[in-house]
Structures are given as C-alpha cells and as structure tokens.
C-alpha cells in the first residue's frame, strides 16, 4: 500500500510540476495557450493509459473460482479498453485539431468506460445467476 501511495504522490507532483512549467512557458511567450493545453491533455491521456495498464494486476482472489475468473476478465477488458482510450486521447490531443481532439477524446474515454462497466455488470450478474442455479439443483 505504501508503494502505491508513494508512486501516486510522485505522479501528482509530476502533473502539478508539468502544469506549472507549461504555465511558466506560456507566460514567458515560449509556447502558446493552445500548446500548453495540448501538452497537459497529452499527459492526462498517457497517465490514464498507464493506470489502466495496471488494472489487471490489482485483482484480488475473493469468492468462487468462477467469480475470480470473471473479475480477472473484467479487469483485463477494462485495462485493455481504457489503455487504448488513454493512448487515443493522447494521440488526438497531440495531432488533431482542438475541436476534434476535445470531442473525439471525450468519446474515446466514455466508450471505454461504458464497455468496462457494461462487461463488469454482465459478468457479475451472470455469476450471480450461475450461483443461484447451481445451489437450487
């Protein structure tokens, strides 16, 4: 737990430091406001991809073997879809026009979130349904 807390604090300091550095560069005239916005959004997308990539590694073995398998599958699907969404978000903010990056980036993350939640709900209701039918036999 301490290792995760330290890395989380380090990433927060990195994000705040990056935002401050970008603001300073913008005020100094080294970069424009759009460039600073793009850079921070790219960092947000990369952090989403990084955290999502860690999702499957944080699963716990609680419940039946079927429940554990479904939890792990839900974590893998969530990790995969949110990692891809984070990379798409970063890529859009790096290269697409601002209006497209804003809308398409939001759509990519929302679609990945809905896919993750939808699969998790389906898997857990299927697990409950399977458990209910196996106890009645």
Three-state SS for the chain is: CHHHHHHHHHHHHHHHHHHHHHHHHHHCCCCCHHHHHHHHHHHHHHHHHHHHHHHHHHCCCCCCHHHHHHHHHHHHHHHHHHHHHHHHHHHHHHHCCHHHHHHHHHHHHHHHHHHHHHHHHHHHHHHHHHHHHHHCC
Q: 53-101: per-residue pLDDT in tens?
A: 988 887 666 677 877 888 888 899 999 999 999 999 999 999 999 999 9
pLDDT > 80? residue 116? yes
pLDDT of residue 136: 45
CA within 13 Å, CB half, 58: 10
Domain range enclosing 94: 2-135
Tell me the pLDDT tens digit for each residue of 17-61: 999 999 999 999 999 989 999 999 999 999 999 999 988 887 666
* Predicted local confidence at residue 130, as pLDDT: 66
Which of these, 72, 67, 74, 53, lies nearest to 120 by C-alpha position?
Answer: 74
Q: What backbone phi and psi angles, to 5 degrees, belong to 126?
A: -65, -40
Give the total number of structural domains in the chain: 1
pLDDT for position 71:
84
pLDDT at 134: 53
Specify the pLDDT at position 61. 66
């Amino acid at each position: 737990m301490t290792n995760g807390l330290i890395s989380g604090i380090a990433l927060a300091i990195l994000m705040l430091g990056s935002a401050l550095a970008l603001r300073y560069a913008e005020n100094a005239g080294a970069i424009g406001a759009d460039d600073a916005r793009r850079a921070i959004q790219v960092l947000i997308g990369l952090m989403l991809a990084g955290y999502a990539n860690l999702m499957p590694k944080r699963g716990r073995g609680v419940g039946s073997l079927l429940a554990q398998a479904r939890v792990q599958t839900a974590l893998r699907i969530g990790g995969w879809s949110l990692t891809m969404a984070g990379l798409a978000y970063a890529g859009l903010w790096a290269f697409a026009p601002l209006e497209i990056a804003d809308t398409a980036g939001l759509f990519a993350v929302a679609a990945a979130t809905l896919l993750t939640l939808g699969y998790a709900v389906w898997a857990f209701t299927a697990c409950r349904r399977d458990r209910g039918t196996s106890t009645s036999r």
